[in-house]
Amino acid sequence: MSNKSYNSFEMAQAQFDRVADILQLDQATREFLRVPMREFSFSIPVRMDDGMTQIFRGFRVQHNDARGPNKGGIRFHPQETVDTVRALAMWMTWKCSVVDIPLGGGKGGVICDPHNLSLREQEQICRGWVRNMANDVGPLADVPAPDVMTNAQHMLWMLDEFEAIRRGKFPGFITGKPVGMGGSLGRTEATGFGVIFTLREALRDRGIKPADAPASVQGFGNVAQYAIRLYNQLGGKVVCVSCWDQNDQISYSYRKATGVDLDQLLGITDKFGGIDREKARGLGYEILPGDDWLTQDVVVLIPAAIENQITGENVHQIKKTVRVIAEGANGPTTPDADRVIQEREIFMIPDFLANAGGVTCSYFEQVQCNMNYFWEKDEVLGKLDVKMTSAYHAVADLARKRNLYMRDAAYVIAVSRVVEACKGRGWI
């Protein structure tokens, strides 16, 4: 496999440019939407446990808020770049638009590795991030959420810092909080379940039963785990999962022809989603190279890890048995791989539709916080199913009607709604 690197923001812009051509957007609209409206970059000094002060770099990008407050996660990652954050903010704009929730796209990040930081040090980074952004975020402006290597505890520290600065209670400022502290039931399951709600509809459209559609999944974090759980409940099975090994700093695939046992694997998994290799081997799993999740004789592929995983170099390794790809991760497929997938007529459920369950449930959390009334889990997941199913069918119907690739159809709907809001406001 090639080591060619991909710039996520250039990829997001290339996807947008393609749809701008389909929609025949004017030059000013193109220029306005292909770059973020606002960007913030700042330093966060933290006194470490050893008494030394270390400087961390933080970001927030607000892509477009024509349809409502910006919405998007904050990720802690040692390889974080402002271009990754720009791409994710843009994708969030389209994601909120395609499922028709009244929010815009934002994203944040800090260059750090939580594996090497104490909880106190992580708390200081969270509070420092909010101190830098306090005037430009809030329930009516920009609503953050957890992302890669951040969790409910990080969100609660951020909320506490924001409320201390603003001198009041603002539970709608941030989502992904712990249940009982303004968090929503069902939020943990939301992204993974959303992937499977759309996959269920795609298989139904094709007359395929989940029981006849074995799947292979990349990733074993929150999204992958709940996607596997719901797919199993629908009668499907997952025969291979791939995940990152923190000790070896590479990924491995774990295959079991009879189907992986989710609870069994969870019993030998660390808090970052890393599976204990020796214990897995003892439970009858084949240990394969990390990229082998892509080469399985399955009907469904679910990339649910990170960006740029299906590329022009490895897309030809996808087996002829594959009928559907459901993108649980953000930006897992590069544009050159997309062209091959389209030519092979593999049905693609694009990321910003398939994984929009997370932001949809974040929106539900925000609504519940702002009205100070919380729903039961079944109600949350029921509303999520309705939202995801109707968004899927709107995109699939347009794709059929205009003979568009699913990613292009999702973009046409999402971008059209944002353009309409920008024009209606008189911005362009």
Active site residue 107: yes
Output the pLDDT for position 338.
92
Tens digits of residue pLDDT in 173-227:
999 999 999 999 999 899 999 999 999 999 999 999 999 999 999 999 889 999 9
Output the pLDDT for position 2.
38
Q: Which positions of the chain have pLDDT values less than 50?
A: 1-3
| CATH for 188-354, options being 3.40.50.720, 1.10.1040.10, 2.30.22.10, 3.40.50.300 | 3.40.50.720
Output the pLDDT for position 270.
80
8 A C-beta contact, residue 295 and residue 318: yes
Helical (H) or strand (E) element with 279: helix 277-282
Q: Hey, where are the domains in the chain?
A: 37-170, 188-354
Neighbouring C-beta atoms of residue 104, cutoff 10 Å? 26
Catalytic option among 95, 107, 237, 387: 107
Q: Are strands 238-245 and 250-255 parallel, antiparallel or unpaired?
A: antiparallel
8 A C-beta contact, residue 25 and residue 419: yes
Give, in order, the Cα–Cα distances in Å from 118 to each of 46, 112, 280, 296. 12, 12, 29, 39
- CATH architecture of structural domain 37-170: 3-Layer(aba) Sandwich (3.40)
Output the pLDDT for position 5.
63
Q: What is the rounded distance in angstroms from the CA atom of residue 198 to the CA atom of residue 326?
A: 8
DSSP track, 328-364: -SSS-B-HHHHHHHHHTT-EEE-HHHHTTHHHHHHHH
Domains 37-170 and 188-354 share a fold: yes
Tens digits of residue pLDDT in 47-87:
999 999 999 999 999 999 999 999 999 999 998 899 999 99
8 A C-beta contact, residue 204 and residue 214: no
pTM listed for this prediction: 0.90
